[in-house]
Amino acid sequence: MVKVLELLSREKSKIKEISKHIRLPESVVKSVVEVLTDRGYVRLNGDDVEITEKGIKYLEEIKKI
C-alpha cells in the first residue's frame, strides 16, 4: 500500500501504470486501490487514481516511523 501511495504522491496514475511501476498484477493493485479508497486515502477520477489530503498525511506519518 505504501508504494502505491508514494507513487501517487508524485502524480495521479492509472491502475495499469501503477501495476507496471511496482511490478504487481493489476488485480492486486486494483484490490489495494479499493482498500485505499475505502479508507479515504485515494479517490478515483475516471480511470485516474489520485491521492487525497488524508492519504498524504497518512504517508507522512508512516515515513516518520
The CATH number of whichever domain residue 41 belongs to comes to: 1.10.10.10
Cα–Cα dist 40/52, whole Å: 7
The reported pTM is 0.91
Q: What is the model's pLDDT at position 65?
A: 77
Domain containing 48: what range?
2-64
Q: What is the model's pLDDT at position 5?
A: 97
Number of domains in the chain: 1
With the C-alpha atoms ordered 35, 41, 44, 48, is the resulting torsion angle positive or negative? negative
Q: Please provide residue 50's backbone torsions phi and psi, each rounded to the nearest 5 degrees.
A: -125, 140
Q: What is the model's pLDDT at position 13?
A: 97
pLDDT averaged per 10 residues, the chain (length 65) = 95 97 96 98 97 97 87
Cα–Cα dist 62/20, whole Å: 24
Q: What is the model's pLDDT at position 61?
A: 94
